[in-house]
Amino acid sequence: MYKLYCRAYQTAYRGALYFLPWRKPRLIEGENSLAELPGILKESGISSVLVITDEGISSLGLMDALLQDLKNNNIRYSVYDKTVPNPTIDNIEDALKMYHSKECEGIIAFGGGSPIDCAKAVGARVARPDKTIPEMKGQLKVRRKLPLLAAVPTTAGTGSEATIAAVISNPETHEKYAINDLSLIPQIAVLDPLLTVKLPPHITSTTGMDALTHAVEAYIGRSRTRETMECSKQAVNLIFSNLYEAYSNGENITARTNMQKASYLAGVAFTRAYVGYVHAIAHTLGGFYSVPHGLANAVILPYVLEYYGESVHQPLAELADAAGIGSPTDPASEKAAAFIAAIKKLNTDMKIPDKVDGISETDIPLMVKRALMEANPFYPVPKILADADLSKLYFLIKQ
């Protein structure tokens, strides 16, 4: 009966999605495309912005040209660079205070998924000063227009520049949860591959596998549309063709450009079709042990795909065809196995471990509970799993 309830919930939600005002960000892409952003902001009537980033980005000087261009366009700026990996409520509230005290009119998120998530949450608090971050947890609880938000990703993985989600962490309770609302989709997304050239190999690899996880989970789920299927296929093809090259030769602008596009396409796919148990488990590992999200997804993905069994053979076979993996004439089960094997090989080639170190057995029951609370009944997964299934998966990935 529980599985029937989950499927009924997902069917009802999928039907409601068709009536929502979906949109995509205005896309600015290509080498040096970041230089176009200040002029666009000026045309939009923005005279003061809050730039949300982290200390690593700030110290590298990646924003220097942008800040100078903002100044040249008579746009005042303030920089909040205290965002931590897995941004916290304290991060959001501190940045919110700066937004108001500096009388900002718009927000630029500059960095990986954490600064973009932080910026989205700040925008949500500006739009809904009557609601706390925990009160906006879940689905469609913002429902107000945010101030202009421009996302400038410096990694190729999260796809946050295209999504409705902002993922927040609470270090006190070890929770990691999402705020999901269409108003959180940035109005502008800048895909400038030059910003990713200096990305360290281990960040290139894990963020790239994050994008692959988005594309795969969106494709195998039951809320996919023709558009999300096409986006997922394109993303998977680009990732298998370019990720290892970007990892081993970071100066390859073509590979960097293609990975940014793959991340964006995967973001478009999963923000509409959603993710699954890989993400639910990964969020608990981030909340309990601060495991980087991309790394967690990379490790977990092949285990969950194998656990799904027959339920994913056909969609994985189609993704294998899209990526040129295996023979087109092979049975679906063999193509699916080849696709999972290719994921494992990509992880191995990029020195990503096949287990997660540091998982405590005493934490597993609570992590199982929280992962199931996130996934069921909402995520339209190919196969509904229960407590015992997730317990097995945690023990499989445990070092």
pLDDT band, residue 60 (cuts 50/70/90): confident
Question: Domains of the chain, with CATH numbers?
Answer: 21-195 (3.40.50.1970), 201-355+362-397 (1.20.1090.10)
Average pLDDT over residues 50-77: 95
pLDDT band, residue 399 (cuts 50/70/90): confident
| Three-state secondary-structure class, residue 398 | strand
pLDDT exceeds cutoff 90 at 16: no
Confidence (pLDDT) at 18: 80
pLDDT exceeds cutoff 90 at 6: yes
Distance CA(252)–CA(193), nearest Å, equals 10
pLDDT band, residue 13 (cuts 50/70/90): confident
119 vs 20, more confident? 119
Average pLDDT over residues 38-43: 97
Cβ neighbours for 195, distance < 8 A, ≥ 6 positions apart: 34, 62, 152, 153, 154
pLDDT exceeds cutoff 90 at 89: yes
pLDDT band, residue 108 (cuts 50/70/90): very high
Distance CA(313)–CA(332), nearest Å, equals 6
Alpha-carbon Rg of the chain, whole angstroms? 20
For 81-147, strand residue ranges (E) read: 106-111, 138-139
Confidence (pLDDT) at 336: 98
Confidence (pLDDT) at 2: 86
Q: Which helix (H) or strand (E) holds 259?
A: helix 253-273
Average pLDDT over residues 109-132: 97
User: What digits encode the pLDDT tens for the residues 318-360?
Assistant: 999 999 999 989 999 999 999 999 999 999 999 999 999 999 9
Mean pLDDT score of the chain, rounded to an integer? 96
The DSSP-derived string for 299-326 is: HHHHHHHHHHGGGGHHHHHHHHHHHT-S
Confidence (pLDDT) at 1: 83
Average pLDDT over residues 153-176: 93
What are the phi and psi torsion angles at 281 (to 5°)?
A: -70, -45
Closest CA to 261 of 244, 240, 245, 238: 238
Burial class of residue 61 (count of CB atoms within 10 Å of its CB; 0-12, 13-18, 19+): exposed
% of residues, the chain, pLDDT over 70: 100
pLDDT exceeds cutoff 90 at 171: no
pLDDT exceeds cutoff 90 at 174: no
CB atoms within 10 A of CB 126: 18
CB 24 within 8 A of CB 82: no
Average pLDDT over residues 367-390: 96
Average pLDDT over residues 73-80: 98
**Tokens describing residue 154:** 């410096």
User: What digits encode the pLDDT tens for the residues 283-321?
Assistant: 999 999 999 999 999 999 999 999 999 999 999 999 999
pLDDT exceeds cutoff 90 at 17: no
Q: Which helix (H) or strand (E) holds 38?
A: helix 37-43
User: What digits encode the pLDDT tens for the residues 232-255?
Assistant: 999 999 999 999 999 999 999 999
pLDDT exceeds cutoff 90 at 150: yes
Cβ neighbours for 337, distance < 8 A, ≥ 6 positions apart: none
Average pLDDT over residues 198-222: 97
CB 99 within 8 A of CB 76: no
pLDDT exceeds cutoff 90 at 98: yes
CB 97 within 8 A of CB 125: no
pLDDT exceeds cutoff 90 at 161: yes
Average pLDDT over residues 77-83: 97
Confidence (pLDDT) at 21: 85
Q: Is the peptide bond before 380 cis (omega within 30 degrees of 0)?
A: no
